[in-house]
Amino acid sequence: MSNRRTGLALIIASAIIGIITVRLDSLPEEAIVPLLAISGIGFVSGIVLLNYKAKHSKRDKGNFKKTNTKSWGA
């Protein structure tokens, strides 16, 4: 599974957990804050994984040019 798919799955899962946590009235007060924290961590991790794949693509590495092509010995 690629980073992009993992990130998207994390975002969707954390959004579902967050919505369920906020909407469910039967949850005790002590369980709401940890579930929202876990949901927030999953959401941020998913965004990082989506952006990591976009910035570190192997296809784009060929476009960078070397700036120092002269050797010291010549």
Instruction: Determine, yes or no, domain membership for 35.
Output: yes
Instruction: Determine, yes or no, domain membership for 34.
Output: yes
Instruction: Determine, yes or no, domain membership for 32.
Output: yes
Instruction: Determine, yes or no, domain membership for 36.
Output: yes
Instruction: Determine, yes or no, domain membership for 38.
Output: yes
pLDDT of residue 51: 82
pTM listed for this prediction: 0.65
Tell me how crowded residue 57 is: count the other CB atoms within 10 A of its CB: 9
DSSP H stretches of helix in 1-74: 3-23, 29-55
Instruction: Determine, yes or no, domain membership for 45.
Output: yes
pLDDT of residue 73: 57
Which tens digit of pLDDT belongs to each residue from 2-47? 878 888 999 999 999 999 988 988 888 888 999 999 999 999 999 9
Instruction: Determine, yes or no, domain membership for 15.
Output: no
Instruction: Determine, yes or no, domain membership for 73.
Output: no
Host domain of residue 31: 26-57
What is d(CA 45, CA 10) in angstroms, rounded to the nearest whole number? 7
Q: Which residues of 17-41 are buried (b: 16+ CB within 10 A; e: fewer)?
A: bbeebeeeeeeeeeeeeebeeebee
